[in-house]
Structures are given as C-alpha cells and as structure tokens.
A = this chain, B = another copy of it.
C-alpha cells in the first residue's frame, strides 16, 4: 500500500487478491499465467505461447501512466490522444496551438520531443518470491519494510546493470503473496508523430467521458528514438484497418494501473468513510478553481487544458467509486465473498485471522491519515524541489537503505523527469500550491502543528505566490546545477522553494516511517496470508490486482442491456455529424466539417468489448485472433467505474477507437499518407 499523498495517486494500492475464481471475461492476467484452458472452454480457442510472446514484445508501457504498442518496423507507437496530451500541450504555443489544430510531422525531422516520457517493453519476468520473503524473514514493522526494500533494490540493480537502456522492477503481486522481477528495454527519447485536433479526440468532453455511444478519435502516434534515430521494431503488431465483427474475440494488452478488488471490509470502509469523501470535496474544488481561472484568459485555457481534463477524468472515477461503495447490492457481493473465504479458511492454523490484522492496520492509519495525506503541497515546482532535496540525501546512501522511489533502478527516470525541459506556468503552479495548502489547513485545522509547519505565519495565497515567484527551478539548467551539486548544493541553496522543501522533509519522513511501521508492514504480512487463503480455496484461477505492469485480458465485441434496451456495439464516423450541436464540447472538429463529403460515413468509429480494463490501460492495443491490432482502448463505460472493486461481465465494457476510423482520419481528415504507408508495410 502506498502513502496517498500525490495527485492522481490517491487510490493507488498494490493490495489484495481477486475475490474468488474469475468469472466470464473477468481478469487482468499476467503473461506468465494466461488461463488458456479457461478461455478455450469459453471461446473454443485460445492463444498459444508463440502468439503470447509476439504480442508481449510489441506492447509498450508509457511512463506517463498509459499503454501503447509498436505498429511499424520503425518504432511507430499507437496510443491515445489523451495519453500524449501533455506532450501536445507542452509543444503548443499561442501562435501554433497544436492541441487545438492537431499535428502531423511532415517528415521524421519534424517529430516533436515529449518531455518526461519514456517507452518500456517487457523483456523477461522472473519469480523472486523466495528471495524477497527470505530477506524479510521474521522481521516486523519498519524493519520488515526496510528488509523488503533492500532486497528489492539489490535484485533490481543486479539484473539491470545497463541503466541507460534497461530498467528492472520488482513487482509485489497479491499484496505481498508473490514478487516478480520485470525487466524492460527502455526508450527515453519519445517523439510526437501525429495527433488529431483535440476537439476530435475529446468530442463530447467530460459529459461523454465514460459513456457510450461515443464519437471520439482518441488516437495518436509517437515514435521511439535511440541515439537520435528511430528504433527498429521488427516485433511490431500488424495494422488491420477494418471494422470489428460482433462477438469476435478481442484481447487487450496493456498496463492496468491499480485495482482494489480484494480489499477487506475494513479497507473498503476506510475508503468509503474517510478517503473518498475528502477526495470528492477537494478535487471538485480544484476543478472549480481551474475552470474559473481558465475562463479568464485564452492562454490559461490552453496551458491548463490537459491538467483539467485529467482532474475531471479522475473525479468521474472517484464519483463512480463512491457510488459503487454506497450501493448495498455491490458491497453485499463483496461481503459475501469475504464470508465465503473466511468459512473456507476456518480451522486452518497457517492462515489465522488476517482480517483482524488488516483491521488493526487500518485503525492505525485512521489515526494519522489526515496528516499523511496533507503533508506536502502540490505543484510542479515544489515537486522539483522535493525531488532535489530527497535525491541529494538518498544518493549518498547505500542503494538498499534509500527512501521509496530513490533506488538505483528508478533514479534514471527520476532524473529524466526532473531535467527534461518542459514549460512551467507559474499561475498554474501557484493555483495548485495555494489550493493544496488551503486544503491542508482546512483538514488539519488552523492550530495543528503541521499546518504551522506548512504555512508559518503566511496565508496559502501569499506563501504560494512568494515561493512560485521567487524560485528559479523552472529553469532546467538551475535544476541540473542542483542535481549535479548534490547535498552540498542543496544545503547551500537559498532558492525559496528548496528552502521550503528542506523544511518539510523531516516531518514527511517521520510520517513515512510511521506508515511503514504501523500500516505497510502489517498489511503486507496480512495480505500474504490472505493470498495463501485464496490460493488454498480457489487454486490458480486467480489473477493479481492491477499494478501498472503488463497484463492481457480476453473478451469479445458485445453491447449490453441499458434500461431494457441493448446498446449497439459501435458508432460510425457519420454519426458525429448528427451528434454535433455546435456548442462546446459537442462542436464539430473543423477538419471533420471541412472534409465531410470525403469521409465514409459508415466507417466504424468507436466500439465496445467485454475486456476487463482500468485506468493505465489507456492506449492499449485491441488485438484480434490473428494478433493484428484493430483498435486502441481509451475508456470504459459508466458501469466500469466500479471496476476498481469488481467486474460485472453483463455491464462493464471497454471503449475502443477502431483502426478503421484512425486510417480514415489519416487518409481524409488529417492527411498523413506517409504514416499510412508505414502502417501498411509488413
């Protein structure tokens, strides 16, 4: 379980296990445990190892939090527009607003660098459960967490000596029941090749998000580079620009970010009673602050569009979670499964009562959750400062003893994100900082010592203004100087943001220590026992909760029943013209309007499948039996919002933009014949 103090990471967790054996098309399977027999029973066919190896080697993880795939032999990557929106925004200017207008690189020399972005491809998966568990041994509390971290750091750096081209990551599955070492080939130079107008990708905006029927061209192409040249990717997926067939089998291969399908009742209560109401209130306020600030100025509108989109997307997810956890039928199913597992485990002395241990850990967390959640402010500039302060201290320690997120295997990405040039908008940074500091004061109370540490005698408004206007960290050269200067440079710095971050460091470390001791360690131990209980009860028909590592889901093209009517499986490009009202966010993209006569109105635009996905899967290739890509997953339907806690095959759907529509766009709307030619090349 992660401490939940970062934006968009509020609900992340590597807790828990599936409830019981996965049903119907449920499951986000690891590549080393694909349930071929189960799929064969349901579908009369299942992929073999060669098929699995092929698609695995073409699957790409984007470190920005998305999935993707290679679709040509020259490093061309298919993903969603919303996965590269921050790159598009960073490359937009008042004179050349490519977020608004779209972008086609006329040739490779015009492809645009995406700051902070990195593409990663899994090259091997190795079970290291025995090594990690034996390193933990009989340790408890903070000692157990430190022993685990040390073992993980050693395994990671041992397996990936070449940190320039590879990355290794030990992943905790089943909340501590298994540990797997994932090795990746990484590409840290990723460039934008093609993107439609934002209005085409975001048609329907927040109102249509997580809804279907849908009319969205949420697709984009990137290219992976190395040593200044496009990467050769012979293992790419074959591009198949065709309409899907109702009922045909589909695979989604990508990196679902996080699920919590096996929280115990106590953990769900913690979410419902404490964490989620705070998220609803604070993020909604941030949304409102951004909407008004952006309405006052077209430059701000452009500069914060992607930030607002991300927040609205997250909020919709959280609202869906609140709804799910306040639906007695939904929580009743979860409670019944918990009762069943307890009954099956009764009398097994090796299991004991891990539910009580979880309850105790959650009770501990309730005591300092508010302090933990509101320990640091938000904002890119503060984030740079905190990273510099932490990294300077941690780099001087042995790899095994470092603060989470600063081990050798992660440091290169930390450094890349810190030093890559990207625009900073002081007004936006100040807004984020002011908002988060005012929420800290609100939830902690004006008289709390942590509030006094955060604010001193200043107001959130004045403090954030002073820090944002006074710091020089927006300049990558200044950041590089401080990074290279190490602890001496950090200690000598008078940059106000660095001074501020230095001042908050000790308190945040103390909270981390308390979290490790009273929450993380006991939860990991209890969850390991829960994993044993589940394996004993249900065998290997289980899949681990999502961990933003590569998974495969199988399903089919299918609609669902909504208020007594079947929702059709697809929309067409022509339908866009009927749905457009002229008013934002339902205004027709200009290139659609201009090219209406050329567009084949019957082209399948978006479609739905039963695949089990969640946030992080955005951009995942949707693959047919012949391992050809037929779309990119970009959303779930409204019912999938409860997917964090459970999957209902009769209702949950993945929403996909079809390759047919993307190719029609490449040929007639945002012409890029050279990309079409590259996609067609075998």
Contact = CB atoms under 8 A, between A and B. Distances in A.
A280 interface: yes
A283 B285 CA distance: 8
Contact of A288 (B284, B322, B323, B462): B284
Contacts of A326: 272-274, 277
Interface string A264-300: 0000010011100100111111111111110110000
Interface string A313-335: 00100010011001110000000
A353 interface: no
Contacts of A292: 288-293, 296, 431
A523 to B, nearest CB: 21
Tell me the interface secondary structure of chain A in the complex: helix
Interface in A251-275: 269, 272-274
- Copy tally for this chain in the complex stands at 2
A204 interface: yes
Contact of A204 (B288, B290, B446, B583): B446
Nearest to A208: B446
Contact of A280 (B284, B286, B458): B284
Nearest to A316: B442
Contacts of A295: 293, 461
A581 interface: yes
A211 interface: yes
A564 interface: no
Nearest to A286: B288
A338 B283 CA distance: 36
A283 B431 CA distance: 19
A650 interface: no
A404 interface: no
A459 interface: yes
B319 A281 contact: yes
A461 B584 contact: yes
Contacts of A442: 206-207
A322 to B, nearest CB: 5
Nearest to A326: B273
Interface of A: 204, 206-208, 211, 269, 272-274, 277, 280-293, 295-296, 315, 319, 322-323, 326-328, 431, 435, 441-442, 445-446, 455, 457-459, 461-462, 581-586
7 contacts: A281-B284, A285-B291, A286-B288, A292-B292, A296-B296, A457-B583, A458-B581
